[in-house]
């Protein structure tokens, strides 16, 4: 199919978690103010940090650019687990047993805090305990699973090997972590935000920041929002990738996406547990539900953000895989989620000690943001309170740069020769001299034009033909079809431009 083709796909393009969560109606930030702590981002890190510090007696103001719980956390597969495919053997080999133990402890603590808060705050979020499995189809991969099981047990996990995995298709075996959990992350975050507001914290939505600057005299920070500001002693940048922070994380992180399908469950569909394939291409499977009943949630193989000109095909391939392996009904929901990888599989979280005292970041969760993000919030809350935390050195956001070329960037996959090649409902990038113009068309064929240069660092964006977004192949910024920022590192929208006159 041509780049400009519009591809109809089954299912509503929205996360089933977000669609099932209560609607939040927090106000806009309309008056400059101050707080002990400013938290930027209403996902798992931001809301958990805000809750912990509100409970500790700090005045906390949380600013969410869109709506609470609807971005990266609300679009995850929402496994609350310290089993991260095969990670512990690698961490022991890379860092040694004791530092690997810190990662294990941090993520186990993250799991247990989510479970505890859901219970304590009586958050209705479909949280249930489930075993987590890392499975394989290939007998030659059982050696890796056995090595991971030994590593996990050395680190204190209740881990064993089952053969085959309890799935409706053929597997050789799996590593099982007992007593993990799963939930609806959007419902959890909505409940957490309500608890923060009830405890005296302030939550604002549609509050996109422009910049963060040091206050005169070096005591604290000013968060700038259009003509307003929020001054704070501490600022927590809890966005998918740190925005407006003095330390650049672009070269430290690599953006990646996954396609996700939620299909109506049939009586024969049910799988008991949370499953991830350690083979390539990898698939992740768990059960969930929306307002109409049970769902099968399946996540497809990862790909670097903005480097695929046909994301719709990935959804088609994922549905084909499901139909060949698991009994399921119609596709009800579909979405794309993004995360960032680090070179050593450990997130960056904590204070930017040398560059920016009292500024804290959390990013690079390598696809495991529920447990890691909660652990990062616990770490940051301790650092704000000047309490010792054993995970600080491991998660240190100031640790050395990754090897050169870890994030090489990429080129737009949406170049077309003429606007006429772009179908109604689709988008593409045309080149006119040195200018690159991002053009998208409404269903009636009406064209709209934007600068194709990502407002972060100028890379040329790619049209996502499944979500109808403009995605940056360099650093992972995402924009709506009309150019508004979905999430950064960009903070400014794509600029409107005129269509070339001879082509309209």
What is the C-alpha to C-alpha distance for residues 154 and 345, in angstroms, rounded to an integer?
A: 19
Average pLDDT of the chain? Answer: 94
Mean pLDDT on 354-370? 93
**If one looks up domain 419-503 in CATH, what number appears?**
2.102.10.10
User: What is the helix (H) or strand (E) element at residue 162, kind and residue range?
Assistant: strand 159-162
**What integer pLDDT is reported at residue 2 of this predicted model?**
42
User: What is the helix (H) or strand (E) element at residue 319, kind and residue range?
Assistant: helix 311-325
Say if residues 81 and 371 touch (Cβ distance below 8 Å). Answer: yes
Say if residues 204 and 330 touch (Cβ distance below 8 Å). Answer: no
Please count the other Cβ atoms lying within 10 Å of the Cβ belonging to residue 387. 10
| pLDDT digits 0-9 by tens, 170-208 | 999 999 999 999 999 999 999 999 999 999 999 999 999
Structure tokens at 380: 């940051």
Beta-bridge partner residues of 235: 38, 359
What is the C-alpha to C-alpha distance for residues 195 and 188, in angstroms, rounded to an integer?
A: 11
Mean pLDDT on 253-267? 96
Q: Is pLDDT larger for residue 178 or for residue 401?
A: 178
**What integer pLDDT is reported at residue 76 of this predicted model?**
95
**What integer pLDDT is reported at residue 246 of this predicted model?**
72
What are the C-alpha distances in Å from 211 to residues 199, 228, 246, 485, 490? 28, 11, 10, 15, 11
Domain with CATH 3.50.50.60 in the chain: 33-75+199-251+345-395
Q: In what order do the strands lie in the sheet with 478-480?
A: 462-464, 469-471, 478-480, 485-487
Cβ contacts of residue 376 below 8 Å, gap of 6+?
45, 347, 349, 350, 362, 365, 395
| pLDDT digits 0-9 by tens, 275-295 | 999 999 999 999 999 999 999
* Residue 217: band (very low, low, confident or very high) from pLDDT cuts 50, 70, 90: confident
* SS3 state at 180: strand
What is the C-alpha to C-alpha distance for residues 27 and 203, in angstroms, rounded to an integer?
A: 8
Domain with CATH 2.102.10.10 in the chain: 419-503
What are the C-alpha distances in Å from 311 to residues 4, 338, 436? 13, 13, 21
| Residue whose entry in the numeric block shows the structure tokens 């496994």 | 79
Please count the other Cβ atoms lying within 10 Å of the Cβ belonging to residue 269. 18
What is the C-alpha to C-alpha distance for residues 72 and 341, in angstroms, rounded to an integer?
A: 14
**What integer pLDDT is reported at residue 1 of this predicted model?**
37
* Residue 112: band (very low, low, confident or very high) from pLDDT cuts 50, 70, 90: very high
Does residue 401 surpass a pLDDT of 90?
A: no
Which top CATH class is 33-75+199-251+345-395? Answer: alpha beta
| Residue 327 exposed, middle or buried by CB count within 10 Å (0-12, 13-18, 19+) | middle
């Amino acid at each position: 199919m041509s780049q400009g083709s519009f591809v109809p796909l089954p299912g509503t393009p929205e996360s089933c978690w977000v669609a099932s969560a209560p609607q939040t109606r927090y106000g806009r930030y309309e008056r400059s103010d101050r707080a002990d702590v400013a938290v930027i981002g209403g996902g798992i890190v931001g809301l958990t940090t805000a809750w912990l510090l509100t409970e500790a007696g700090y005045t906390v103001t949380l600013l969410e650019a869109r709506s609470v719980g609807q971005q990266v956390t609300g679009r995850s597969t929402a496994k609350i687990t310290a089993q991260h495919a095969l990670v512990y053997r690698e961490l022991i080999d890379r860092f040694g047993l004791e530092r690997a133990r810190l990662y294990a402890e941090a993520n186990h603590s993250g799991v247990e805090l989510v479970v505890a808060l859901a219970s304590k705050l009586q958050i209705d979020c479909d949280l249930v305990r489930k075993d987590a499995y890392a499975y394989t189809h290939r007998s030659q991969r059982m050696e890796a699973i056995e090595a991971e099981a030994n590593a996990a047990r050395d680190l204190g996990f209740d881990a064993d090997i089952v053969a085959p995995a309890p799935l409706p298709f053929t597997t050789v075996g799996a590593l099982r972590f007992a007593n993990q959990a799963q939930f609806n992350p959007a419902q959890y975050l909505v409940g957490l935000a309500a608890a923060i507001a009830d405890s005296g914290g302030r939550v604002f939505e549609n509050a996109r920041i422009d910049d963060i600057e040091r206050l005169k005299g070096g005591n604290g920070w000013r968060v700038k929002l259009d003509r307003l500001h929020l001054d704070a002693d501490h600022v927590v940048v809890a966005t998918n990738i740190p925005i407006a922070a003095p330390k650049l994380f672009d070269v430290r992180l690599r953006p990646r996406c996954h396609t996700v399908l939620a299909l109506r469950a049939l009586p024969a569909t049910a799988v008991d547990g949370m499953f991830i394939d350690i083979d390539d291409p990898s698939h992740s499977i768990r059960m969930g539900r929306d307002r109409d009943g049970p769902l099968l949630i399946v996540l497809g193989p990862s790909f670097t953000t903005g480097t695929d000109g046909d994301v719709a095909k990935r959804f088609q391939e994922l549905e084909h895989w499901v139909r060949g392996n698991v009994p399921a009904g119609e596709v009800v929901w579909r979405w794309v989620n993004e995360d960032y990888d680090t070179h050593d599989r450990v997130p960056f979280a904590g204070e930017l000690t040398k560059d920016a005292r009292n500024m804290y970041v959390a990013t690079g969760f390598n696809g495991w943001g529920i447990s890691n993000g909660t652990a990062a919030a616990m770490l940051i809350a301790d650092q704000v309170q000047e309490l010792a935390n054993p995970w600080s050195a491991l998660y240190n956001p100031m640790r050395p740069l990754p090897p050169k070329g870890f994030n090489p960037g990429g080129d737009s996959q949406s170049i077309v020769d003429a606007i006429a090649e772009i179908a109604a409902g689709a988008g593409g990038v045309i080149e006119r001299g040195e200018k690159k113009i991002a053009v998208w068309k409404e269903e009636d064929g009406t064209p709209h034009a934007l600068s194709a240069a990502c407002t972060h660092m100028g890379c040329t964006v790619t049209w996502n033909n499944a979500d109808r977004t403009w995605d940056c192949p360099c650093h992972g910024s995402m924009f709506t079809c009309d150019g508004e920022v979905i999430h950064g590192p960009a903070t400014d929208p794509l600029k409107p431009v005129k269509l070339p006159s001879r082509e309209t």
